[in-house]
Amino acid sequence: MNAEIDLGTFQYRDHFPKSKKVAQFEQLQRAAHPDRQYPFFDDFANQWFERKRATWKNSYRDSVRSALDKYLIPHFGNTLVNELSLSQVDYFRQDLSEGVKKDGSRLLSNRRINFILWPLVAIISLAAEEYKFEYPLRRYKAFKEEKAESNPMAIDEVRKFLACAPIKWKDYFIIRLWTGCAVVRCMA
């Protein structure tokens, strides 16, 4: 740590990733060195978003903006794009996966965490290409996503259900249950 301080390469976040003072130290670093060769993550992320927004549907655009504003920019905003490391991403991903709801279940699924981190990977990839630095996330692997649990009814259960179904809905349920037809197609 002392050697990094002497060389001017010390990053508070690398040594104290869970500290509440990370943002404060990064803001001080940002103010002390406004003439950096590389942009800060928040600036580049906003530029990336503006460049990409026209290619996305509105709902997807809003989801990406939400991931940037709620998770990525608050965490990585004061980090220079070339200084972001795989270990920082791993610590961040671990923090996201450890979030717990009041009932004890996970706050974010692996799929949601992957969606939150996808823009980060794309932003750093583009920054590495444009600013000619080594891409730090080449060994990054997305979380494996859990498969949806499907418990289809057995044939006996379908027959029992149809026997109890109201006459008004019987034809509808026969088509839905025996063909697997989607709701939208059954309504047409």
Nearest to 30 by CA among 6, 13, 54: 13
- Partner residues linked to 40 by β-bridges: 80
Nearest to 12 by CA among 2, 29, 25, 31: 25
Question: Any idea of the CA torsion for 78, 13, 82, 141, to the nearest 10 degrees?
Answer: -110
pLDDT at 5: 67
Higher pLDDT, 4 or 38: 38
Estimate the share of the chain in helix, then strand, then coil, as percent rounded to the nearest 5.
65, 0, 35
Residue 78: band (very low, low, confident or very high) from pLDDT cuts 50, 70, 90:
confident
Count of helix runs (H) and strand runs (E) in the chain: 11, 0
Residue 21: band (very low, low, confident or very high) from pLDDT cuts 50, 70, 90:
confident
Higher pLDDT, 150 or 173: 173
pLDDT at 47: 95
Which domains occur in the chain, in start order?
A: 2-131 (1.10.150.130), 155-187 (no CATH)
pLDDT at 17: 67
Percent of residues, the chain, with pLDDT higher than 70: 84
pLDDT at 86: 92
Residue 125: band (very low, low, confident or very high) from pLDDT cuts 50, 70, 90:
very high
- Pair of tokens at residue 54: 């026209």
120/157 Cα distance (integer angstroms): 47
Tell me the pTM. 0.64
